[in-house]
C-alpha cells in the first residue's frame, strides 16, 4: 500500500515527463515547458506524523556483500542485446583486444604470492520493508533487500564483477560506484540502464592511475559508496534506500592497520584470523564503523513522503543513521574509526560531539588525507564522506552524542549553523572496560597517505561551467542535460583546470565529477579549508561562489558525467556529459567529438556496452 503510493508518484512524474514530451524539449534546449511543472511545494513538506523515543535501538552495521557464483560466468556469453543473463553485454575488459585488458592490471595477493583472483558478487535491486522509525513499517528499495545495501569489501588490484539484477518492476536503474576509478561502462552513466527484470555485469578493476608503470599510492581510495544513478530517478531511488558503502584497502592501508595506526577494517579474532559470516562474507571490524546519514519525511501510512515536483531538494525531519532513526552505539573506552557519509539528497550537516571534544579527520571523500586534522566539527554535504577518529578512552561509563548543528528548512541551502539548537544523531554509550585482547591504535603523526599536488602550470585546458536555474529547473552553461550531447571532450592524460561558478544568491550545488579525483585550488579566490586541499570527488558550490579545481584524466576513455549531487537538481538536468578520448600522444588530434554517438562505436574501442540505445530508440524520446 505504502509503496503503491510512492510508486504512483514516481510513475506519474516519469510518465508526465515522457508523455508531455519534456525529454524531447530538454534535448532541444526548450525551457518553456517547465511552466507545466510549477514549484507546487515551496516548503519542505508536512511534518512527519509519528513520534518515537530516540536512542532505543542499536546502530545497525551493514553486512558485507557475500561472494557469489555467477552462472553463466562473466565473459562466457556473447554480448547479445536481450540476453536474459547479461542484458547489456559483457564487460569489454574480457576482450583480449581491449586497451584495458584486465590481466595487465591485476596485482599480486601478498598472502598467496599469486595474482588476485576475480571476486564475484550479486547485487539485486529489490523491494523491501524496514522500520526506519521504531514500530513504523516503511516500504523501501534495498540492494539485496537491505537499507543501506551490503558493504562491498574491495582490494586494490583485485578485479571484481558485480552482477546487478534489477528486480524492480517499474524503473530503469544504473549503478554508480561513487569515488571509484572505473571504466565507463561500469561507472553508472545514468543512461547505461539495467532495465526491469534484466541484469548486467559491472566490471570493477579496482585500480589507481599508474605513474611510471605502477599504480600510484597517492591515488588509492578508501571509503567509496555506491548508489543508484538512473536517469531521472536517482533522487527517488537513493531516498528509498539504494545506497551502500564500498571499502577498499591497498598495501599502504593494510600496513597502517598492521602497525596499529588504524583499526582493522575486517572482523578478526585476537589471533588475527578472519571471522566470516555464515554466507562466507567478511564482516565489519570492531573499531571501524560506517555511518550513512539520511533525513527522511513520512506519510501517515508509513511510506516516505515524496513530492515528484519538488525540484529544490528533499529535506526530511527524521534523521536516520544506517537506516535507523537516532540509534545508540555501545562503545568501549578507546578510539574508533567512523566512515561518515552524507547520503541525504539536499541536507548539509555540521557535526560535533556533545561534550565539546575534538575529533581527528583522517579522510575526505574517498581518500585518506596526508595528515590527520584535529577538528571540533565536521562538514558533511550530500555525497561527502568524512573519515574520522573519535577517542572515547577518557569517557568510561559516560554517554555523549554526535550532534548536527546545521539548520536547514528547505532544499535550497542551509539556514546556517546554530550551536544552540543541536539535533542529536547518535548516542554513544561508553562502557567501563575495553577488550584488551585487541590493541589500541594511534593515527600516525606523519604522513598517512601521500598527496601529489597538481600544479596550475600543468593545466593545458581551462573550462568554465556556470550553474544556474531556469524556470524552476537546473542548467549548466544554460543547457539541460542531454545524453546525446558531449559537453566536454577531454584528451586522456590531460591536466585541466575547471572553474565552477554559481552566481545565484540562493542555491547551493554539490558538484560531483566522475572517474577522477579533483583538487580544489581556490574558493572565491582564497585557499580552501585544510580538509579540502587534497582530493575530492565532489565540491560544494555555495551561492555567489567560484571554485577553481585541477584534475588529471587517466586510465579510462569513454563517456562519463558530472552533475549536481543534490539529486533532485541532478534529476532535473543539472548534469553534463564528458567524453575522454583515447589519444594520449602530445600533438595528436583527438577525433571529433562523438556527440553522444558512442553507442554506435564497437565496444572494444569505446568501452561502453554494445547497442543499447540502437535497440531502444525510444529511450530518449
Ligand atoms: Cu544543485
Domain boundary assignment for the chain: 57-275, 290-430, 456-606
413: CA distance to ligand 1 center in Å?
9
Residue 277 preceded by cis peptide, ω within 30: no
Give the phi and the psi of residue 589 in degrees, each rounded to 5: -95, 130
Q: Are 608 and 101 in contact (CB under 8 A)?
A: no
13: CA distance to ligand 1 center in Å?
19
Length of the chain: 621
* pLDDT band at residue 150 under the 50/70/90 scheme: very high
Q: What 3-state DSSP class applies to 414?
A: coil
527: CA distance to ligand 1 center in Å?
23
> How many beta carbons lie within 10 A of that of residue 108, not counting itself?
11
505: CA distance to ligand 1 center in Å?
13
Q: Please tell me which residue, 233 or 28, carries the higher pLDDT value.
A: 233
Report d(CA 542, CA 526) in Å as an integer: 14
Q: Are 404 and 349 in contact (CB under 8 A)?
A: yes
Report the 3 state secondary structure along 327-371.
Answer: CEEEECCCEEEEEEEECCCCCCEEEEECCCCCEEEEEECCEEEEE
> Looking at the domain 290-430, which fold is it?
Immunoglobulin-like (2.60.40)
pTM of the predicted model as reported, rounded to 2 decimal places: 0.89
> How many beta carbons lie within 10 A of that of residue 1, not counting itself?
8
575: CA distance to ligand 1 center in Å?
9
Q: Are 6 and 139 in contact (CB under 8 A)?
A: yes
430: CA distance to ligand 1 center in Å?
39
Residue range 326-350: average pLDDT? 98
366: CA distance to ligand 1 center in Å?
21
355: CA distance to ligand 1 center in Å?
34
Residue range 305-312: average pLDDT? 89
Give the residues across from 545 on adjacent strands.
Answer: 502
Residue 571 preceded by cis peptide, ω within 30: no
Domain 456-606 CATH class label:
mainly beta
327: CA distance to ligand 1 center in Å?
30
Q: Are 431 and 330 in contact (CB under 8 A)?
A: yes
Cell of 252: 599502504
502: CA distance to ligand 1 center in Å?
10
**pLDDT tens-digit series, residues 430-486:** 999 999 999 999 999 999 999 999 999 999 999 999 999 988 889 999 999 987 777
- pLDDT score recorded for residue 264: 98
11: CA distance to ligand 1 center in Å?
23
Please give all residues whose CB falls under 5 A of ion ligand 1, grouped by chain where several chains appear. Answer: 509, 564, 566, 569
Residue range 399-413: average pLDDT? 96
Residue 7 pLDDT > 60: no
Pseudo-torsion of CA 39, 406, 149, 117, nearest 10°? Answer: 120
Q: Are 183 and 556 in contact (CB under 8 A)?
A: yes
Does this chain's domain 290-430 share its CATH topology with 456-606? yes
64: CA distance to ligand 1 center in Å?
32
517: CA distance to ligand 1 center in Å?
19
508: CA distance to ligand 1 center in Å?
6
* pLDDT band at residue 38 under the 50/70/90 scheme: very low
Pseudo-torsion of CA 165, 168, 172, 174, nearest 10°? Answer: -40
- pLDDT score recorded for residue 191: 79
Residue range 127-150: average pLDDT? 97
Q: Please tell me which residue, 16 or 171, carries the higher pLDDT value.
A: 171
DSSP states of 13-71: HHHHHHHTTHHHHHHTT--GGGGGS--S--SS-SPPS----TT-SBPP-PPBPPP---S
Residue range 115-127: average pLDDT? 96
Residue 338 pLDDT > 70: yes
Identify the helix (H) or strand (E) that includes residue 501. Answer: strand 495-502
574: CA distance to ligand 1 center in Å?
7
* pLDDT band at residue 8 under the 50/70/90 scheme: very low
Question: Of 91-95, 566-570, 596-600, where does the model show the most confidence?
Answer: 566-570
Residue 618: CB partners within 8 Å, gap ≥ 6?
A: none
What's the CA angle centered on 130, arms 123 and 281, to 5 degrees?
A: 40
- pLDDT score recorded for residue 170: 81
* pLDDT band at residue 331 under the 50/70/90 scheme: very high
CATH superfamily of 57-275: Cupredoxins -  blue copper proteins (2.60.40.420)
Please compute Rg for the chain using Cα positions.
23
DSSP states of 472-488: TEEEETTB---TT--SE
Amino acid at each position: 500500500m505504502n509503496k503503491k503510493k510512492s510508486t504512483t508518484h514516481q510513475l506519474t512524474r516519469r510518465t508526465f515527463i515522457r508523455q508531455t514530451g519534456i525529454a524531447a524539449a530538454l534535448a532541444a534546449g526548450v525551457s518553456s515547458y517547465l511552466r507545466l511543472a510549477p514549484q507546487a511545494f515551496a516548503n519542505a513538506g508536512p511534518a512527519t506524523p509519528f513520534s518515537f523515543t530516540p536512542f532505543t535501538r542499536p546502530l545497525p552495521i551493514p553486512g558485507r556483500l557475500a561472494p557469489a557464483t555467477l552462472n553463466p560466468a562473466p565473459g562466457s556469453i556473447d554480448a547479445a542485446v536481450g540476453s536474459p543473463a547479461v542484458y547489456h553485454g559483457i564487460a569489454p575488459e574480457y576482450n583480449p583486444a581491449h586497451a584495458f585488458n584486465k590481466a595487465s592490471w591485476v596485482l599480486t595477493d601478498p598472502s598467496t604470492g599469486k595474482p588476485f583472483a576475480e571476486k564475484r558478487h550479486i547485487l539485486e535491486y529489490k523491494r523491501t520493508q524496514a522500520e526506519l522509525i521504531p514500530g513504523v513499517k516503511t516500504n523501501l528499495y534495498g540492494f539485496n533487500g537491505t537499507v543501506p545495501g551490503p558493504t562491498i569489501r574491495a582490494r586494490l588490484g583485485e578485479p571484481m564483477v558485480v552482477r546487478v539484477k534489477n528486480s524492480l518492476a517499474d524503473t530503469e536503474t544504473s549503478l554508480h560506484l561513487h569515488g571509484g576509478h572505473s571504466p565507463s561502462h561500469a561507472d553508472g552513466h545514468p543512461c547505461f540502464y539495467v532495465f526491469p527484470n534484466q541484469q548486467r555485469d559491472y566490471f570493477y578493476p579496482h585500480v589507481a592511475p599508474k605513474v611510471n608503470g605502477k599504480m600510484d599510492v597517492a591515488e588509492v581510495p578508501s571509503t567509496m559508496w555506491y548508489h543508484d544513478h538512473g536517469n531521472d530517478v536517482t533522487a527517488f531511488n537513493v531516498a528509498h534506500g539504494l545506497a551502500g558503502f564500498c571499502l577498499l584497502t591497498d598495501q599502504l592501508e593494510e600496513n597502517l592497520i598492521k602497525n596499529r595506526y588504524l583499526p582493522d577494517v575486517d572482523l578478526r579474532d585476537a589471533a588475527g584470523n578472519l571471522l566470516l559470516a555464515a554466507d562466507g562474507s567478511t564482516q565489519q571490524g570492531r573499531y571501524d564503523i560506517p555511518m550513512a546519514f539520511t533525513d527522511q519525511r513520512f506519510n501517515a501510512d508509513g511510506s516516505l513522503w515524496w513530492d515528484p515536483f519538488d525540484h529544490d531538494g528533499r529535506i526530511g525531519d527524521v534523521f536516520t543513521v544506517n537506516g535507523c532513526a537516532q540509534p545508540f552505539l555501545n562503545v568501549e573506552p578507546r578510539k574508533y574509526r567512523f566512515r561518515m557519509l552524507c547520503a541525504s539528497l539536499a541536507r548539509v550537516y555540521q557535526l560535533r560531539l556533545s561534550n565539546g571534544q575534538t575529533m581527528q579527520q583522517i579522510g575526505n571523500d574517498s581518500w585518506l588525507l596526508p595528515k590527520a586534522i584535529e577538528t571540533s566539527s565536521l562538514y558533511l554535504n550530500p555525497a561527502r564522506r568524512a573519515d574520522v577518529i573519535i577517542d572515547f578512552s577518557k569517557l568510561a561509563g559516560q554517554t555523549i552524542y554526535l550532534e548536527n548543528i546545521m539548520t536547514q528548512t528547505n532544499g535550497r541551502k542551509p539556514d546556517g549553523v546554530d550551536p544552540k539548537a543541536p539535533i542529536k544523531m547518535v548516542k554513544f554509550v561508553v562502557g567501563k572496560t575495553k577488550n584488551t585482547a585487541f590493541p589500541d591504535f594511534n593515527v600516525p603523526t606523519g604522513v598517512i597517505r601521500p598527496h601529489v599536488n597538481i600544479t596550475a602550470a600543468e593545466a593545458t585546458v581551462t573550462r568554465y561551467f556556470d550553474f544556474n536555474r531556469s524556470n524552476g529547473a537546473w542548467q549548466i552553461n544554460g543547457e539541460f542535460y542531454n545524453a546525446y550531447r558531449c559537453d566536454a571532450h577531454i584528451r586522456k592524460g590531460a591536466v585541466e583546470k575547471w572553474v565552477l561558478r554559481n552566481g545565484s544568491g540562493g542555491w547551493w550545488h554539490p558538484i560531483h565529477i566522475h572517474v577522477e579525483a579533483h583538487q580544489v585550488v581556490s574558493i572565491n579566490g582564497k585557499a580552501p579549508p585544510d580538509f579540502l586541499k587534497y582530493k575530492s570527488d565532489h565540491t560544494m558550490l555555495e551561492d555567489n561562489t567560484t571554485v577553481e579545481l585541477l584534475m588529471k584524466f587517466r586510465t579510462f576513455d569513454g563517456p562519463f558525467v558530472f552533475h549536481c549531487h543534490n539529486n533532485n537538481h541532478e534529476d532535473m538536468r543539472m548534469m553534463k556529459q564528458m567524453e575522454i578520448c583515447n589519444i594520449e600522444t602530445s600533438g595528436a588530434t583527438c577525433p571529433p567529438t562523438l556527440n553522444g554517438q558512442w553507442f554506435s562505436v564497437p565496444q572494444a574501442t569505446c568501452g561502453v556496452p554494445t547497442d543499447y540505445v540502437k535497440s531502444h530508440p525510444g529511450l530518449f524520446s
